[in-house]
Amino acid sequence: MNEYINIGFIQTVVEGSVAWPKGTFQMSVESEDKVWSELKKGFIDLLNGYEKPQLIIIPELSVPHGYEYELRRLTASSGAVVIAGLDFTKNGNKFCNRATVIIPRNWPDIKPSNSASYFYFGKSFYSNEEIEMFKGYDLISQPDIYILDAGNYGIMGVAICSDFFDIERFVVYKGRIHNLIIISHNKDTESYYFLAEAISRLVFCNVVICNSGEFGDSIAFSPYKKSHRRIVYRHKGQGLFSSQVVSLPVDLLDREQQIGAKSIEFKSRPPGYSKKDF
């Protein structure tokens, strides 16, 4: 396995009251233009940096549907896998909250591709704000739990915002993943911070949260033994666009996930932990 995975954050600023005025369910043109400019800037920042990301993550509800094709083109040219939250998807009187995973043809080689494959995953549990927003309409739950094999960059779990509180998801992930990726549009940032530390210990994995810049506090957390090393990245402050590449351990973490391994760099494995095949 590779020693580290480089993960690029693009923390877009999508203001809920501007993007979805009361009674509307698709992102406003004003917000579409603004967020697409931020996304393009984020890709330029990440790809011109010294450390190139193998994975780029974009918050929940950040990509307007009219720009999905352009996002795939950007992803292919970047060489990095992209996990990005999409605007609400409408089908008649039914709505859902989805994200897309885009994989460049040449990945894991970090070089431009001429095409990319993609798929979607959805949200299982909606927030109270979403339930209120879509009162009178059907919100479609998508309860599938995805585990993504990134080869030498480890095994990943993914979830959208309030699914971070789904205890059953962590039972599935425990012993199977190295990285848990959360994309969110969440104002309760302190709760997510404390939950990130708890889940990092209980599932024994890296936890990464890319939150909307409207509220800020994107986080990368690793279960290192030394406390000062555990917060690999934290970007506090509201209303802030940012882009950043962080490196999270894969190989060393995998070694210490094995039953019988000594806890040298990381905290002890949680009670009942056993390494499971993917």
Domain boundaries, the chain: 4-169+179-198+205-249
Mean pLDDT of 184-201: 96
Mean pLDDT of 114-139: 95
Is the per-residue pLDDT at 49 higher than 90?
no
Structure tokens at 266: 């990381």
Q: How many CA atoms lie within 13 A of 237 on its CB side?
A: 7
Is the per-residue pLDDT at 153 higher than 80?
yes
pLDDT digits (tens, 9 = 90+) for 78-93: 999 999 999 999 999 9
* pLDDT at res. 89: 96
Average pLDDT, the chain: 96
Mean pLDDT of 251-258: 97
Alpha carbons 241 and 13: distance in angstroms, whole number? 6
Axis-axis angle for helices 68-78, 29-47 (nearest 10): 0
* Residue pair 216/11 in contact by the 8 Å Cβ criterion: yes
Question: What is the band of 50 on the pLDDT scale with cuts at 50, 70, 90?
Answer: confident
Is the per-residue pLDDT at 61 higher than 70?
yes
Is the per-residue pLDDT at 277 higher than 70?
yes
Mean pLDDT of 254-270: 94
E strand residue ranges, the chain: 4-11, 55-63, 81-86, 89-91, 94-96, 98-104, 116-122, 138-139, 147-149, 155-160, 179-184, 206-211, 218-221, 231-235, 242-249
CATH class of the domain whose range is 4-169+179-198+205-249: alpha beta
Give the angle subtended at the CA of 159 by the CAs of 155 and 163, to the nearest 5°.
Answer: 140
* Closest-CA residue to 200 (of 219, 184, 214, 216): 219
* pLDDT at res. 278: 66
* pLDDT at res. 240: 96
* More confident site: 117 or 22: 117
* pLDDT at res. 98: 97
Question: What is the band of 142 on the pLDDT scale with cuts at 50, 70, 90?
Answer: very high
Mean pLDDT of 89-103: 96
* Closest-CA residue to 84 (of 110, 109, 108, 102): 102
Question: What is the band of 7 on the pLDDT scale with cuts at 50, 70, 90?
Answer: very high
* pLDDT at res. 23: 85
* Closest-CA residue to 85 (of 208, 184, 217): 184
Residue 233 CA, chain-centre distance (Å), reads 14
